Chain A
Amino acid sequence: MSIWRFANPAEFMRLTGWLVAPFWVAAGVLLAVGLVWGLSVPADYQQGTTVRILFIHVPAALLAINTYALMAVMSAIGLVRRHHVSFLVAKAAAPIGAAFTLVALVTGAVWGQPMWGTWWVWDARLTAVLIMFFFYLGYMALWAAIDEPEKAAELSGILCLVGVIFAFLARYSVNFWATLHQGASLTLQEGQRVDDAYRIPLYLMMVACYLLFAALLLTRARTEIRLRRARALRLRAGNRAEGSTAAAEHPA
């Protein structure tokens, strides 16, 4: 089965139709378990109970960056292969990514105040995430500002690709510069650096947030496809009505 089958809106609706409900149920269950578990972990010897904020901050930050990467890939596919479903998936992902970026920024600031002694620093990673958040807002604003969907999709897609550098910097800036924000705590290369008491609920919350992302993305993408179909039907009906009026006014 070719992946390009999903580029056909009818196929996309058919193939994703049965996935939406299981994703919502799985996300709901795992989020409930993860939140209760995350709120009941023992206090860290340095961070105290603020360590509990990381169970939402880390998955949100991860999704903020990965959603932008997904949007960039979808926009590139849309621009190169002219599949409008790709553009619609990118459009559907933007508010989700923006919401997770906002959560990452807010929870990071709330954690930073007691731990770093400040709500905000112009650190490379924090600044890149903030600029990425503005790119999310700009992307959604551009889609909303242009009436012609094809043109809106192309221009928003180009804007998305321009902003991908900030998603890259948000992810890797801690490797390039020694800044206040710490590097990755969960790495495969350097062995385990987080105790199981925190690591397991953190992984659980990551999986729960990815499932929530998938449920939201599929729901929103299906919404966009329906709205596009409704618009196409209305335009076709309008053209047909105009054609029949013209034929009545100027009979052959």
Chain B
Amino acid sequence: MSALLSDPYLTYVAVAYGATVLVIGLLIALSVRANARSRVELAEAEKEAGSHER
């Protein structure tokens, strides 16, 4: 543990991995949310189209 904390490059490695997790995590979260919303939107549009046909 002390060897890890005394590593002079610890900050650089932590910043690189932290930034990656932040960017890719945000991308995944936004993609999954957009995917869920598109399902809802398509279901609503299909319902509206069905009611117009009637």
Interface residues of A (CB under 8 A from B): 35, 39, 43, 48-50, 52-53, 56-57, 60, 95-96, 99, 102-103, 106-107, 110-111, 113-114, 212, 216, 219-220, 222-224, 226-227, 229-231, 233-234, 236-237, 240-241
User: Among residues 1 to 38 in chain B, which have CB atoms less than 8 Å away from a CB atom of chain A?
Assistant: 7-10, 12-13, 15-17, 19-20, 23-24, 26-28, 30-32, 34-35, 38
- Can you list 28 A-B pairs, Cβ within 8 angstroms, ordered by A? A48-B8, A50-B13, A53-B16, A56-B17, A57-B16, A60-B20, A96-B27, A99-B27, A102-B23, A106-B23, A114-B8, A219-B31, A222-B38, A223-B34, A226-B38, A226-B39, A230-B41, A230-B42, A230-B46, A231-B45, A233-B45, A233-B48, A233-B49, A234-B45, A234-B48, A237-B48, A237-B52, A240-B53
Chain B residues, Cβ within 8 Å of A230: 38, 41-42, 44-46
- The DSSP consensus for interface residues of chain A is helix
Measured CB to CB, the closest approach of chain B to A221, in angstroms, equals 10
A50-B9 in contact given A99-B24, A107-B16, A223-B31 (Cβ < 8 Å): yes
A107-B20 in contact given A50-B12, A236-B49 (Cβ < 8 Å): yes
Contact between chains at B49 and A110 (CB < 8 Å): no
Chain A residues, Cβ within 8 Å of B46: 230, 233
- The DSSP consensus for interface residues of chain B is helix
Chain B residues, Cβ within 8 Å of A57: 16
Give A27 to B37 CA distance when docked, in angstroms.
23
Chain B residues, Cβ within 8 Å of A220: 31, 34-35
Closest residue of chain B to A236 (Cβ to Cβ) is B49
Contact between chains at A48 and B9 (CB < 8 Å): yes
Chain B residues, Cβ within 8 Å of A48: 7-9
Contact between chains at B13 and A223 (CB < 8 Å): no
Measured CB to CB, the closest approach of chain A to B41, in angstroms, equals 5
Give A123 to B19 CA distance when docked, in angstroms.
23
Measured CB to CB, the closest approach of chain B to A58, in angstroms, equals 12
Closest residue of chain B to A50 (Cβ to Cβ) is B9
Chain B residues, Cβ within 8 Å of A49: 7, 9-10, 13
Give A57 to B16 CA distance when docked, in angstroms.
9
Contact between chains at B48 and A114 (CB < 8 Å): no
Chain B residues, Cβ within 8 Å of A111: 12, 16
Query: Which of A95, A106, A229 makes the CB contact (< 8 A) with B16?
Result: A106
Chain A residues, Cβ within 8 Å of B48: 233-234, 237
Closest residue of chain B to A47 (Cβ to Cβ) is B9
Chain A residues, Cβ within 8 Å of B38: 222-224, 226-227, 230
